[in-house]
Structure 1
Amino acid sequence: MEEQNTKLYAVLNLSPEASDEEIRKTYRQCAQVYHPDKYQSSPMKLIATDNFQRVSEAYEILSDPNKRKVYDIYGMEGLISGLELGPVLNKAEEVKEIKAELKRLKRWKENEKMAAAYFQSSGTILANVSLPRCLHGDGLFSRMEMTSQIKSWLSKRSVVTIGGNLEVDRGKGGGAASAVLNHQLSKVSSIEFMASAGLRALIGVRASRQFSSQSSAAMGLSMSLKNGSLKLSSSCTRRLSKTTNGHIQLRLGSQSSVALRLEKNDQRRSATGQIEGIFWRFKLYRRSQKLIIPILLTTHLNPVFATGALVVPASFYFFLKKLFINPYYRKRNKQKALEKEEKISAQILERRAAAEKAHKLQQNVANRKRNRQLKMGGLVIIKALYGNDTILKNLYSSREASFESTLGVIDVTTPLNFLVDDSGQLKLHEGVKKSGIMGFCDPCPGNCELLLYVEYAYASDQYKVLVGDYEELLIPHDTHMI
């Protein structure tokens, strides 16, 4: 059972299987200690009011059969959301209904995940910058294009993509809407049907096949709906090395062309070369959105210019990263770590203060029980510490009784003496996180495993025990004798 589903049981120190009578009995005992009417001074009344509110909330939920069932399954979120399980049923029907409800919730969450995975949107903004055109007074941008698409899986092997694009190229603009259906024929081959409307209205089909892990090829045929012209395209891709690919593309039709492209990619850098000129290409990614700015530096292949185009941005990026980017991220991460540490420290101080206030309410009853057990030779808690597992394991294995450090642990001697029953026994229940017990708190949230260390005396003998956060503690017990 998760922590949030047992926190209320910890407040009353009850087992999740506790009966209604045990819940009522424990609540009456707690009310005698935590009720604000039991105190005269204003500070103690305020402390009692806060603690009694926790006790009352726990009792209100656990004493109501329907609310308790909802809490056991869904936690406080289920109660806040108003979830219900219907009328009280017999045990077999109740178990069956709970299982069915859990299956329904699981299916609902899986469907949500599938819907998110099977429905994706993406967009790209492409802005071609040409320095030669700018120097000739023809403008800085030679071409701009915006595309957006939505992809949805019809089945495990079929996907449909609907999108559109707007394009401006050398003063001429246009747009188109398209739909593409891709079907996976096998592990190595697929076929694609497409149709578009707009300035480039056409229909087409494209088939692709992967011949090996190193090479693949594709062939397509399209027909223009405006003039009926046909266009045949063929491409081949070959993996030249672990990070380098080569591409050859042939187009036959009204505008025939041949293109050769080399592409190099690794985790941090990418480079592309083709017979068009020397480019700088900048890319910005934000989730599924892309901004691409290719800058044409020159249409002529000049080795010196090409070397400079490669070295200058790489050197600039190196110095920029060394002098500004890395120091900025180090400073930001350090600031975030400091803010997180301050936030956790404030939470710990607040929780410790709340636990100490509960100790004040428990003190009188704890002292009376301790004195009575001393006279009877019964159970007396000498020392109890809750918190960091490393600290408490070292203390448990050490023969020295002294303990000075308060970091990472909290003293819970008073709460445990308070919880000793009239028969001289103390029981903390299995499956209930101990930080929720009145007078306890988590002194090191998220940093370590939590343990409870207890030293106690019984019948003039000394005992000590170390238990996990969710483990049962039942004392006195012979195995704990020192």
Structure 2
Amino acid sequence: MALFEEGTDPSYYAILNVPKDASYEDIKRAYRGLAQVFHPDKHLDDDLRDKAQEAFAKLQEAYEVLSDPQKRDVYDVYGKEGLNAGMSLGTKLKNTDELRKEWEAFKAQQRAAREEAAASHRGIYICRVDGRGWAHGDWAAVPQIRMVVVQNSLDVSVTDADVLLLQGQAALRGNQGSGSVVAGYKRVLSPNDELEAHAVLGLRSLLQLTSTRRLGHYTTAAATGSYSWDQGMGLQLTTSRQLTHSSSASLTWVVGPPNASSMGVSVSHRGSKYVITGKIDLGLVTSLSSRLTYLLNDNLSLKVTGRIGTSGVDAELGLARKFSPTSSLYAGSAVSLQGGTAFKVRYSRAGQVFEFPILLTGDCRDWEVLAAASIVPPLASFLLMRYVVGPLKRWQRRRAETAARSEHAEQLRREANRAAAERALLQPVARRKAAAEAAAGGLVILEAVYGLLHEYRLVRAQQGQSSSSEAAAGPQRDQQRQQQQELHRKQEQQAKAQQQASSSSSSSSQEQPQMNGSSSSSGGPAADAAAGSSSSSSSEGDLALPPPWLDVTDALQYLVSGGKLELHGGVSKLGLMGFADVAEGDKELYVAYCYKQRLFEKVVGDADLLRLPGAGEPVCEPDVADRLWAKYRSMYQQQQQPQQPQEEAQ
């Protein structure tokens, strides 16, 4: 979630810590419990009363909305923006679910319209390079351009039912070039019928008319008639049908002209992690081909293509990586009995496709080149993503986060201070609850952090390294300190001897106090400098940005009741009292707690459900366990009897 993004106000359900299906009694009970802490009249101190005023206003606002059925329905559908805009449910709408469905359908239509507008411009750019010299070690050879193809198309929606198409294409093969311009018009006649006309002007000009009709829920048919000046009339029939939920088939029959007649059948099946397609073409060129796309993960897929026919045999193997919903990169090796071995790179972004086939050898039996083309690119891609692209993306993300935090520095500090004030109000009650839970062996929250946990762990690791280095350098540092003290003692003795031996002159009597003063305060300037640096750093710290996480230990301990803690899912936790949005990115919640004299920890997402103590996992790291036990003793040793936790059980 973006930092201070519009529409990211804290959820009223999170403020009261109630589920979305909470009853009025649950909402009222949660409100009264929090009002006991945040009501301004509960605090005699002026500072605490001012802190409680803002928190109680937020609490009261959430209660007024959720306790009113009509306002709550509007809030569930439209959010806080709907309440501010004065929207109402009306009398004809039946329930909240219908409103939510209509609202989601409207938003889906808007997204679809934006995606369609973004994909209206498409382009294909292919540049085939002859790199056989480089493949065989001749780095002085100049690669030659074998083929260049450029194609651009633009769709313009004139009305909801009318679309204009303009397309231009050019190709250069060797010393021969060709090109054409295509103008088209598409008309939606009905929900089941479309009519499309094209005029192609170029070396091969023709007129084309296509009629498409939806014959049933699973079947579509199209008929295309064409006329060219050199070949005459032509006709193509196409039909497609959805065979099963995950399978489909299509049939294409080119009736004429006679020298172009052919027939093709293709079948496609989609699985949970793969898509496989088989095709048979019969005509002047007869072939059998198949293509498999296997999803290795959400962003990486393996593509395998094979074809055998009268024009030859070829195969292709490659990997495609998806960087975003609109951009992807493909790299693969293709081998053909006639064309040799080539390496392909294809980059797609927002409807634009850039493809670079590089011919490596003209002989498909050159196994060394084939092996290199199949092994080196994936290995190079892995190393590049692991050691170059990955660190660069992380650096770019941190830079963007830092820029966003700097841009909202004042608001960040205000949010952090507000959350700290709320936790300060919760702290006395939370500590009493913790003491009662500790005495009964119940749920005691020892450490809770909300925000960017990877940044928190990084700082924690640095602190651990610095403490270990200080511990390792302890004896050496003590020895240096002793040497400095010994040197300082000798300097003082020399100064006193000089003072006794010198004559009582005015200059010497005035200089000697200065010497004594400087020598006696040999540690003073360093201490003053350290004090000055610490004061300056503390003053800079007041103006610096808060860390991208919050210590919410007291805020969670306050929510513990009867040895249990529940944070409801489906809403962001930044709305909880004592929480705030102080980070850009996916925030998480880390909780370390003690239950029945055992240590547990748990990490959940910002909107995930959390139920303690059942959801926790035992603490396994000795350093973390020692730190948590030390915190347990230091926090509750005054309230708890000398009974010590059973550390041996850990």
**TM-score, length-scaled by structure 2:** 0.38
Q: Which residue of 2 aligns with 1:426?
A: 565
The aligned amino acid for 1:95 is D
Aligned match for 1:9, one of 13, 21, 31: 13
Change in CA separation of 1:396 and 1:80 when aligned onto 2, cut-off 3 Å? same
Provide structure 1 residue ranges, at least 5 long, that are not aligned to the other structure.
Answer: 119-150, 160-181, 191-207, 219-334
Aligned match for 1:437, one of 564, 576, 579: 576
Change in CA separation of 1:99 and 1:407 when aligned onto 2, cut-off 3 Å? closer
Aligned match for 1:368, one of 406, 409, 432: 432
Q: Which residue of 2 aligns with 1:461?
A: 598
Q: Does 1:84 align with 2:88?
A: yes
Aligned match for 1:342, one of 406, 415, 425: 406
Q: Which residue of 1 aligns with 2:162?
A: 156
- Return 106-115 or 357-366, whichever deviates more: 106-115
Aligned match for 2:417, one of 341, 344, 353: 353
Q: Does 1:55 align with 2:28?
A: no
Q: Which whole-Å CA distance do the structure 2 matches of 1:357 and 1:80 have between them?
A: 27
Q: Which whole-Å CA distance do the structure 1 matches of 2:580 and 2:117 have between them?
A: 41
Deviations 1:458-482 (A, max 9, x none): 1111111111111111111275223
Cα offset, 1:16, TM superposition? 1.5
Q: Which whole-Å CA distance do the structure 1 matches of 2:416 and 2:435 have between them?
A: 26
Q: Which whole-Å CA distance do the structure 2 matches of 1:25 and 1:106 have between them?
A: 38
Change in CA separation of 1:38 and 1:401 when aligned onto 2, cut-off 3 Å? farther
Residues 396 and 465, structure 1, Cα contact 8 Å, conserved in 2:
no
Aligned match for 2:48, one of 44, 49, 54: 44
Superposition map of 1:144-223 within 5 A? 153-154=158-159, 155-157=161-163, 184=185, 189-190=198-199, 209-210=201-202
- Partner SS for 1:75: helix
Q: Which residue of 1 aligns with 2:97?
A: 95
- Partner SS for 2:88: coil
- Partner SS for 1:454: strand
- Partner SS for 2:592: strand
Q: Which whole-Å CA distance do the structure 1 matches of 2:467 and 2:587 have between them?
A: 18
Q: Which residue of 2 aligns with 1:417?
A: 557
The aligned amino acid for 2:97 is V
Cα offset, 1:442, TM superposition? 2.4
- How many residues were matched structurally? 286
Deviations 1:185-242 (A, max 9, x none): 897845xxxxxxxxxxxxxxxxx73556xxx799xxxxxxxxxxxxxxxxxxxxxxxx
The aligned amino acid for 1:43 is D
Residues 14 and 572, structure 2, Cα contact 8 Å, conserved in 1:
yes
Aligned match for 2:608, one of 448, 451, 471: 471
Cα offset, 1:420, TM superposition? 0.8
Change in CA separation of 1:449 and 1:113 when aligned onto 2, cut-off 3 Å? closer
The aligned amino acid for 1:413 is T
- Partner SS for 1:351: helix
Change in CA separation of 1:470 and 1:108 when aligned onto 2, cut-off 3 Å? closer
CA RMSD, aligned part only? 4.3
Q: Which whole-Å CA distance do the structure 2 matches of 1:88 and 1:188 have between them?
A: 45
Residues 453 and 464, structure 1, Cα contact 8 Å, conserved in 2:
yes
Q: Which whole-Å CA distance do the structure 1 matches of 2:46 and 2:197 have between them?
A: 79
Deviations 1:53-104 (A, max 9, x none): 10011111111111111111111111111111135987xx553454345545
Residues 389 and 449, structure 1, Cα contact 8 Å, conserved in 2:
no
The aligned amino acid for 1:458 is Y
Change in CA separation of 1:152 and 1:416 when aligned onto 2, cut-off 3 Å? closer
Q: Which residue of 2 aligns with 1:123?
A: none
Q: Which whole-Å CA distance do the structure 1 matches of 2:403 and 2:458 have between them?
A: 30
Cα offset, 1:453, TM superposition? 1.1
Cα offset, 1:384, TM superposition? 1.0
- Partner SS for 1:346: helix
- Partner SS for 2:555: helix
Change in CA separation of 1:45 and 1:210 when aligned onto 2, cut-off 3 Å? farther
Provide structure 2 residue ranges, at least 5 long, that are not aligned to the other structure.
Answer: 121-155, 166-182, 187-194, 208-398, 469-545, 620-650
The aligned amino acid for 2:71 is K
Q: Does 1:387 align with 2:465?
A: no
Q: Which residue of 1 aligns with 2:32?
A: 28
Residues 76 and 96, structure 2, Cα contact 8 Å, conserved in 1:
no
- Partner SS for 2:408: helix
Q: Which whole-Å CA distance do the structure 2 matches of 1:37 and 1:397 have between them?
A: 44
- Partner SS for 1:384: strand
Cα offset, 1:381, TM superposition? 0.8
Q: Which whole-Å CA distance do the structure 2 matches of 1:89 and 1:109 have between them?
A: 24
Change in CA separation of 1:107 and 1:33 when aligned onto 2, cut-off 3 Å? same
Residues 552 and 578, structure 2, Cα contact 8 Å, conserved in 1:
yes
Q: Which whole-Å CA distance do the structure 1 matches of 2:407 and 2:46 have between them?
A: 30
Residues 396 and 466, structure 1, Cα contact 8 Å, conserved in 2:
no
- State the identity %: 33
**TM-score, length-scaled by structure 1:** 0.50
Q: Which residue of 2 aligns with 1:275?
A: none
Cα offset, 1:108, TM superposition? 7.6
Deviations 1:227-286 (A, max 9, x none): xxxxxxxxxxxxxxxxxxxxxxxxxxxxxxxxxxxxxxxxxxxxxxxxxxxxxxxxxxxx
The aligned amino acid for 1:431 is G
Cα offset, 1:345, TM superposition? 2.9
The aligned amino acid for 1:417 is Q
Change in CA separation of 1:49 and 1:109 when aligned onto 2, cut-off 3 Å? same
Residues 5 and 74, structure 1, Cα contact 8 Å, conserved in 2:
no
Cα offset, 1:28, TM superposition? 0.7
Q: Which whole-Å CA distance do the structure 2 matches of 1:158 and 1:209 have between them?
A: 16
Q: Which whole-Å CA distance do the structure 1 matches of 2:613 and 2:8 have between them?
A: 29
